[in-house]
Structure 1
Amino acid sequence: MRPPFFAVISLFLLAAPAAAEAPPADHRETLAALAEVLGQSHALRQACAGPDDQYWRARMMRLMEVERPQGDWKAELTGAFNAGYTSRRRLFPVCTPASRRAEMTAAARGRGLAGKLTQGARGDSAAVVPDAMAPDAPSR
Structure 2
Amino acid sequence: MSRPFLIGVVLAALVATPVLAQERDAKDRQRLLDLAYTLGESHALRQACQGETDQYWRSRMVRLTEVEQADQAFDAQMRERFNTGFASRRSEYPTCDDASRKAEQQVSRKGQSQAQRLSQSVRQAHREPDSVADDEGAR
TM-score normalised to structure 2 length: 0.73
Q: Tell me which amino acid in the other structure corresponds to 2:52.
A: P
Q: Deviations over 1:12-35 (max 9, x none)?
A: xxxxx9648252100000000000
Give matches, 1:59-78, under 5 Å: 59-78=60-79
C-alpha distance in 2, partners of 1:93/1:59?
22
Contact 2:21/2:29, CA 8 A, preserved across alignment: no
Q: 2:92 — aligned with what?
A: 91
CA shift, 1:121, in A, is 1.3
Segment of structure 1 superposing worse, 40-49 or 22-31: 22-31
C-alpha distance in 2, partners of 1:20/1:112?
20
Q: 2:48 — aligned with what?
A: 47
TM-score normalised to structure 1 length: 0.73
What is the count of residue pairs matched by the alignment? Answer: 108
Q: 1:104 — aligned with what?
A: 105
Q: Tell me which amino acid in the other structure corresponds to 1:109.
A: K
Q: 2:8 — aligned with what?
A: none
For structure 1, list consecutive stretches of 5 or more residues without a partner in the other structure: 1-16, 125-140
What's the RMSD between the two structures over aligned residues?
Answer: 1.9
Going from structure 1 to structure 2, the CA distance change for 1:48 and 1:65 (only over 3 Å counts) comes to: same
C-alpha distance in 2, partners of 1:58/1:71?
19
Going from structure 1 to structure 2, the CA distance change for 1:18 and 1:37 (only over 3 Å counts) comes to: closer
Q: Which has the higher helix share?
A: 2
Q: 1:122 — aligned with what?
A: 123
Q: 1:25 — aligned with what?
A: 26
C-alpha distance in 2, partners of 1:86/1:63?
19
User: Runs in 1 of length 4+ with deviation above 3 angstroms?
Assistant: 17-20
The answer to which structure, 1 or 2, has the higher relative contact order (CA under 8 A, 6+ apart) is 2
